[in-house]
């Protein structure tokens, strides 16, 4: 695993002293977050902890009440939003495609930041769309309507749309929600490949703790508008932290085969299974 | 319409644009036909001659130039405006049942015109389009403010509901004005059913330029509408200034709707249905829906108005009645054929 301390590459995206509030209540309170380049950063925390808000502020679609987000050293909220979109892609939570839109048409919308009034569609756009569909594995149903696809296929289409944007930085808000576990794993594999093989920098808000521990290079734990802990899963994904952040009683085990951390929650009324016997 | 042979051709501009010359051809034909038929049938040759080689001593040429040409231009402008405005509304609100009347725009414009002409006694035609625009904008603002007060804010649902309420209210007030004032009722009766007959053609001079600008603006903004239809956050992530875009789109829709109302009264159906018919052929990308809807709307209103003029000679049926009477069965048939 590549620890954040060992890979000090140029910092592309950084939040400094971010505070966000809605109508009197504070959702984010003086949060600092530096995103390690070329790695997967995963934000976890209980509902309402401000992880989605932090992602939106980093993606410049929410303006912080205090503090700033720096994209390549410049205040992202002062940059031209279309030029930001050529460098930073965002997949919000639960996006909905207009009825009847085909997969290819959806993915093509990702080219918007690269188009102007005079240059509407070019060979470069075409190649970017085909390439994105190829990586996301959706080329086979390029001409089908998005709303005829399964949840997992649909989410791949949205990832492809963000890929067609051809940005080094990609921010995703709960991309695996409502998907089957197998489909979640496939999608996370796809995203991990983007970071580790194609050098993209990913920031992902996730709900699934074990999935977060399995895929994060850099894990960020949040609670009540603050960042509680940051580091590799090995460093911070512990039973004590889970209790502290989520109020969750759980064991954190290390899978003997992969060496990954797994979270096993313990509820008071869970079934006590008989001791496992070898087959 | 089956000539648009490239369904869902969104990302292939060459293929997707291929229907445009075809529709332009159909539009030209419908335009000439609209001029040719009527109480006195003219040959297409006479029509073309009157248009391009005008001779004021020829009576037929005078009919074409002074009576029929302006009405045909009116049909093109109003048909294109209502259809394009409806397409934009459907995209922005993500509501397939949206049309130019949705936010109370049509009834607001009609209300303002009725009040200005009957209560205030305004008779100068010059101000009618501006009054209609003020009325439409005023109604839209009231609808928006009411929707804001709903818990959850101005969502497509709350906007639609308050739009329906305001529309109904304004229509009721228009009826009251009529009942109280028999004279204006006679003047406005035909206008309020929607129609192109007996319009003051000088209106075109005042309404034409803003309509032309708004039509161009609508087509230029169309690619952003698809992005906006994917949700505000997706659109913002792609670098769209959603707030500014919505205001620009509202301005386009208000101008088109209000000018159409000023020209032809509150014509229904076109803005709702024509974009859906277009969708059957060009797919769901507004980049294509919007320009095609404008062309198809113009063709449709030309055709419908032609029928309205010749259906029961020597009388003429109000165009607003024919749009839906012919359009509804046509629409049902099209949907059935495409979904089979």
Q: pLDDT tens digits, residue range B205-228?
A: 888 899 999 999 999 999 999 999
Q: How close does chain B come to A133, measured CA to CA in Å?
A: 14
Q: Which residue of B has its CA nearest to A109?
A: B227
ipTM above 0.85, yes or no: yes
Question: Among partner residues A84, A108, A145, which is closest to B239 by beta-carbon distance?
Answer: A84
Per-residue confidence in pLDDT tens, chain A, 279 aa: 444 444 456 889 999 999 998 777 889 999 999 999 999 999 999 998 999 999 999 999 999 999 999 999 999 999 999 999 999 999 999 898 988 899 999 999 999 999 887 777 788 999 999 999 999 999 999 999 999 999 999 999 999 999 999 999 999 999 998 889 999 999 999 999 999 999 999 999 999 999 999 999 999 999 999 999 999 999 999 999 999 999 999 999 998 998 888 999 988 888 877 776 655
Q: Is the peptide bond before B248 cis (omega within 30 degrees of 0)?
A: no
> What is the predicted pLDDT for the residue at B165?
92
Say whether B283 and A90 touch across the interface (CB within 8 A). no
Tell me, which fold does domain A1-87+167-238 have in CATH?
Rossmann fold (3.40.50)
3-state secondary structure chain A: CCCCCCCCCCCCEEEEEEEEEECCEEEEEEEEEEECCCCEEEEECCCCCCHHHHHHHHCCCCCCCEEEEEECCEECCCCCHHHHHCCEEEECCCCCCCCCCEHHHHHHHHHHHHCCCCCCCCHHHHHHHHHHHHHHCCHHHCCCEHHHCCHHHHHHHHHHHHHHCCCCEEEEECCCCCCCHHHHHHHHHHHHHHHHHHCCEEEEECCCHHHHHHHCCEEEEEECCEEEEEECHHHHCCHHHHHHHHCCCEEEEECCCCCCEEEEECCCCCCCCCCCCCC
pLDDT-derived band at B190 (thresholds 50, 70, 90) equals low
Q: Nearest by CB to A82, which of B94, B96, B239?
A: B239
Q: CA-to-CA distance for A172 and B233, rounded, in angstroms?
A: 12
- The answer as to whether B3 is a domain residue is no
**Could B231 and A96 be called an inter-chain contact, meaning their C-beta atoms sit closer than 8 Å?**
yes
Q: Which residue has the higher pLDDT, B195 or B177?
A: B177
Closest CA to A35 of A7, A63, A62, A61: A7
Answer whether residue B8 is part of any domain.
no
pLDDT of B6 above 50: no
Name chain B contacts of A127, Cβ cutoff 8 Å.
none
Contact A22, A65 (CB under 8 A): no
Contacts of A108 in chain B (CB under 8 A): 10-11, 285
Closest to B296 in 3D by CA, of B98, B76, B85: B76
Contacts of A90 in chain B (CB under 8 A): 233-234, 236-237
- What pLDDT was estimated at residue A73? 93
Which pLDDT score, from 0 to 100, does residue A71 have?
Answer: 96
Choose the closest CB to B234 out of A92, A99, A100.
Answer: A92
pLDDT value at residue B189: 66
Nearest-by-CA chain A residue for B222: A117
Cα–Cα distance for residue pair A230/B16, rounded to 1 Å:
50
Query: Residues of A at the B interface (Cβ-Cβ below 8 Å)?
Result: 56, 59-61, 81-86, 89-92, 95-102, 104-106, 108-110, 112-113, 115, 117, 120-121, 125-126, 129, 143, 145, 162, 165
Which of A42, A69, A35, A4 has the alpha carbon at shortest distance from A204?
A42
Distance from CA of A228 to the nearest CA of B (A): 27
Using the beta-carbon criterion (under 8 Å), do B11 and A126 form an inter-chain contact? yes
Residue B23 domain boundaries: 13-339
From chain B, the residues in CB contact with A145 under 8 A are: 284
Q: Is residue B5 part of a domain?
A: no
The average confidence (pLDDT) of chain B is 85
Residue B230 to residue A113, Cβ atoms within 8 A: no
Six-digit token pair at B97? 């049942």
CATH number, position B105: 1.10.3470.10
pLDDT at B183 over 50: yes
Distance CA B315, CA A258 (A): 86
Determine the residue among A94, A99, A101, A147 to mutate to test chain B binding: the one whose Cβ has the most chain B Cβ atoms within 10 Å: A101
- Judged against a pLDDT cut of 90, whether residue B87 lies above it is answered with yes
Q: Of A91, A109, A145, which has the smallest distance from its Cβ to B226's Cβ? A: A109
pLDDT band at B124 (very low <50, low <70, confident <90, very high): low
Residue in A61, A97, A106 nearest the CB of B236: A61
**How many domains, in total, are found in chain B?**
1
In eight-state DSSP terms, residue B202 is T
DSSP B201: T
Of B220, B241, B285, the CB nearest to A101: B285
Binning pLDDT at 50, 70 and 90, where does residue B184 land?
low
3-class secondary structure, B152: coil
**SS3 track for B244-279:** HHHHHHHHHHHHHHHHHHHHHCCCCCHHHHHHHHHH
Contact B73, B253 (CB under 8 A): no
DSSP strands (E only) in chain B: none
Judged on CB neighbours under 10 Å (0-12, 13-18, 19+), A260 is middle
User: Which pLDDT belongs to residue B198?
Assistant: 63
pLDDT more than 90, % of chain B = 40
In a domain, B306, yes or no: yes
Task: Give the mean pLDDT of B306-318.
Answer: 82
Count other C-beta atoms under 10 Å from residue B138's C-beta: 16
User: Six-digit token pair at B323?
Assistant: 């749009």
User: How high is the pLDDT of residue B4?
Assistant: 38
pTM of the prediction? 0.87
**CB-count burial class (<10 Å; 0-12, 13-18, 19+) for B330:** middle
Task: Map out the domains of chain A as residue ranges.
Answer: 1-87+167-238, 98-165
Cβ partners under 8 Å of residue B126, min gap 6? B206
Helix B128-149 and helix B203-229, axial crossing angle in degrees, nearest 10 = 30
* Minimal CA separation from B308 to chain A, in Å: 34
pLDDT tens by residue, B242-292: 999 999 999 999 999 999 988 888 888 899 899 998 988 888 899 999 999
């Amino acid at each position: 695993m590549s620890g954040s301390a060992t890979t000090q590459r140029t910092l592309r995206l950084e939040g400094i002293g971010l505070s966000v509030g809605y109508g009197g209540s504070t959702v984010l309170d003086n949060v600092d977050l530096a995103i390690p380049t070329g790695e997967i950063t995963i934000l976890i925390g209980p509902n309402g902890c401000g992880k989605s808000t932090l992602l939106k502020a980093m993606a410049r679609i929410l303006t912080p009440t205090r503090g700033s987000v720096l994209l390549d050293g410049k205040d992202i909220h002062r940059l031209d939003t279309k030029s930001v979109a050529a460098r930073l892609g965002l997949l919000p939570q639960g996006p909905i495609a207009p009825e009847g839109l085909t997969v290819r048409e959806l993915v093509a919308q990702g080219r918007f930041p690269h188009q102007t009034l005079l240059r509407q569609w070019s060979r470069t756009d075409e190649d970017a769309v085909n390439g994105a569909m190829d990586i996301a594995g959706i080329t086979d149903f390029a001409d089908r309507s998005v709303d005829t696809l399964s949840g997992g296929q649909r989410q791949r289409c949205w990832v492809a749309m963000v890929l067609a944007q051809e940005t080094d930085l990609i921010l995703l808000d709960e991309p695996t929600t409502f998907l089957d576990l197998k489909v979640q794993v496939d999608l996370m594999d796809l995203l991990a490949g983007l970071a580790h093989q194609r050098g993209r920098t990913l920031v992902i808000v996730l709900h699934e703790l074990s999935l977060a521990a399995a895929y994060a290079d850099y894990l960020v734990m949040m609670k009540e508008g603050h960042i509680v802990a940051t580091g590799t899963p090995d460093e911070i994904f512990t039973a004590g932290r889970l209790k502290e952040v989520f109020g969750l009683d759980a064991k954190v085990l290390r899978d003997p085969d992969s060496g990954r951390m797994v979270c096993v929650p313990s509820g008071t009324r869970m079934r006590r299974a008989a001791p496992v016997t070898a087959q | 319409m089956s000539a648009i042979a490239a369904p869902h051709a969104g990302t292939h501009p060459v293929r997707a644009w291929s229907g445009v010359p075809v529709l332009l051809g159909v539009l030209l034909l419908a335009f000439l036909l609209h001029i040719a038929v009527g109480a006195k049938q003219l040959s297409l040759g006479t029509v073309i001659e009157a248009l391009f080689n005008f001779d004021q001593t020829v009576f037929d040429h005078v009919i074409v130039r002074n009576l029929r040409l302006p009405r045909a231009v009116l049909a093109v402008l109003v048909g294109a405006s209502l259809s394009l405005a409806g397409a934009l509304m459907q995209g922005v609100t993500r509501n397939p049942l949206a049309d130019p009347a949705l936010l109370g725009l049509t009834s607001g414009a009609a209300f303002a015109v009725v009040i200005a002409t009957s209560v205030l006694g305004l008779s100068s035609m010059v101000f009618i389009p501006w009054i209609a625009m003020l009325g439409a904008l005023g109604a839209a603002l009231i609808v928006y403010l009411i929707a804001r007060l709903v818990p959850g804010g101005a969502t497509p649902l709350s906007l639609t509901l308050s739009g329906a309420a305001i529309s109904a209210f304004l229509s009721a007030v228009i009826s009251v004005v009529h009942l109280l004032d028999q004279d204006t009722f006679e003047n406005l009766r035909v206008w309020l059913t929607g129609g192109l007959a007996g319009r003051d053609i000088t209106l075109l001079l005042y309404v034409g330029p803003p309509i032309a600008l708004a039509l161009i603006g609508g087509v230029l903004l169309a690619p952003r509408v698809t992005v906006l239809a994917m949700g505000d956050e997706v659109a913002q992530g792609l670098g769209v200034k959603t707030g500014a875009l919505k205001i620009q789109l509202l301005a386009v829709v208000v101008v088109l709707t209000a000018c159409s109302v000023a020209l032809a009264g509150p014509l229904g159906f076109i803005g709702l249905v024509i974009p859906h018919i277009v969708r059957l052929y060009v797919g769901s990308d507004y980049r294509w829906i919007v320009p095609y809807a404008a062309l198809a709307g113009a063709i449709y209103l030309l055709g419908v108005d032609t029928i309205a003029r010749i259906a029961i000679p020597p009388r003429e049926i109000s165009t607003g009645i024919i749009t839906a009477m012919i359009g509804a069965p046509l629409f049902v048939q099209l949907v059935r054929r495409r979904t089979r």
